[in-house]
Every structure is written in C-alpha cells, then in structure tokens.
Amino acid sequence: DVVDPNDDLGRYRLLILPDEIAVSTAFARRLDRFVARGGAVLATGASGLDAAGQPVWKALPIRGAAEPSPFTVTYLEPAHGLRGELPAMPCALYEKGWRVRAAAGAELLATVTEPYFDRSWRHFCSHAQTPPAKPTSFAAAVIKGRVAYIAYPIFRLFGTHGLLPCRALVAACLRRLAGRPMVEIAAPATTEVSVMRKGRATVVHVLFAAPDHRNGLDIVEDIVPLHDVAMSVALPHKPARALLAPSCEPLPFAWADGRAEVKIPRVDGHQMVVFE
C-alpha cells in the first residue's frame, strides 16, 4: 500500500520511507507512536532528514547530522552479520549517499568504503568508478530496535542500476524488522505473487513470464513453465485443505509454525493456490 502520513498507520506492521520522504514534526510524532505500539520502520536516503541533514525524526538510528558524500560512487561493505545474505565484498553504488555514524547501541549492518578519488576529467580511471581505498567508519546501513536506516537512495539505485546487493540489503533489513515474509517462494526473481482474502479462504496468485521489452511494451510470446515450485504461506489458522484453481485439484500441504508449505506442480504463466 502507498499511504499518506495522515492515514491510519495502525493497520500496518511495517512502514517504508523510501529515499526522499519528507517528515514533518507532526509526522515524526505519529511515527514515534507507531513504533511504540510495535510497528517497524525502514527509512532510506534523505527520508527523515531536513535540508541540512539533521534528523527530523529523532528515532533514526544515526548520531548527529548526515553529511552528503563528496563522492559520486562509493562502496557498500557488509558487516559480518550480513555474510551469507550479501556478497562478502565491496559493492559499488552509483548514486551519492550520506555520511552518517551509527547511534549508540545500534547494530551496524554495513559500512561505507570510499574510493581513492572521484572519477572526473581531472582524475581519470579506466573503469566507471575509481577502485575502493579503505573502509571508513561511516554507516551504510544501521538498525536499532524496530527502526532501520540505509544511507543511500537504495530504491532508486536498484530501479536505475539493477544492483542485486541493493535488493538483498533491503530484504535483510526487512527480515530483521518484521521476520519472515508472508509468502516465500522458490521461483525466479521476476515471479509476481499476490495474496487475496475471500471470506475465510486465502488465494495466492503466482504469475511468471519471460517478456521481451519492445518499444516500451513487455511482450510475452512464449509461456515458459515452472515446475515443482516450493511455496510457504503464513496463514491465521491451519487450513482444512489446499487446492489449485480453477482446476480444483487437491494440493498436499504441510503445516508448521503457522505456515502452509506446498509444492506447485506446474505454473503455466499463472496459477492460483487456494487455502480453505
């Protein structure tokens, strides 16, 4: 959902303030109440900061003002706690971030490594960016309690440059803030999953295609089937049965820790799974 600062935030467990969300004093108070009642927040980039880099929302897990980085390209260095979730190597980020330091008691998820110099006509490097020099004490991602902050416009970075470590970093933050997602599926990254409630039934739509992008359109000419797709869905109660729709074919499932585990035999572009 895309929500307005004046909407009822109590409907949600997690809020994301992506990249450039201005936070007023009144909105900051609402965020404080949201977190105090058990909600979680992920802020990125300039979200929650004023024009001078000072945190308008004091719950951001950073110390002091944020300073714009003087470098066009810097490097994300995952901390030991993220090994296995992000590559254990510096990752170039092609947008300016912020120089910030972790607040007292906060967990540092990733740090910033700066380059030897900024690539320009004065200082040339044959690659798109200058190699990393040495790690700094600046935080790239930090979490404290139920609030996490990433010091980059991480969503714009992923949307513009397609950097997979950006998506992995956001996923790592969300896991720490909100636990396992409602749906986990072993399928290609372009698979789209949506969940709908219909009475006491839960309907999961799985959509997969390999489109060809032409003239601004995504053209699907061939259906590439997926086979034996493992899926785990969190449900409010154990369902009596699971089935494929619209064929109504029964689908075996296992139930553990509030989640139904199924294996979808085949997805031909689209498949519905119904839990009743």
CATH number, position 208: 2.60.40.1180
pLDDT, one tens digit per residue, over 103-145 is 999 999 999 999 998 887 787 767 778 889 988 999 999 999 9
Instruction: Please indicate, yes or no, if residue 244 is contained in any of the structural domains.
Output: yes
> 172 near 84, Cβ under 8 Å?
no
Closest by Cα among 110, 28, 32, 114 to 67: 114
Contact between residue 211 and residue 218 where contact means Cβ atoms under 8 Å apart: yes
Tell me, yes or no, whether 4 lies in a domain. Answer: no
| Mean pLDDT taken over the chain | 93
> Does the bond joining 236 to the residue before it have cis omega, within 30 degrees of 0?
no
Of 28, 215, 40, the closest CA to residue 145 belongs to 40
pLDDT at position 6 over 90:
no
**Rounded Cα–Cα distance for residues 156 and 112 (Å):** 18
Average pLDDT, integer, range 162-191: 93
Determine the average pLDDT of the residues in 58-63. 95
Distance between CA atoms of residues 76 and 132, nearest Å: 10
Q: Show which of 178, 207, 226 is a domain's final residue.
A: 178
Domain co-membership, 147 together with 24: yes
**Encoded amino acid at 72, one letter:** T
pLDDT digits (tens, 9 = 90+) for 62-79: 999 999 999 999 999 999
Can you give the pLDDT at residue 211? 86
Tell me whether residue 3 is in a domain: no
Which CATH number covers residue 72? Answer: 3.40.50.880
Same domain, 172 and 199: no
Domain count, the chain: 2
Distance separating alpha carbons of residues 28 and 50, to the nearest angstrom: 12
The share of the chain scoring above pLDDT 70, in percent, equals 100
For residues 120 and 219, membership in a common domain is answered with: no
Q: Under a CB-based contact definition with an 8 Å cutoff, are residues 99 and 138 in contact?
A: yes
Q: Residue 2: inside a domain, yes or no?
A: no
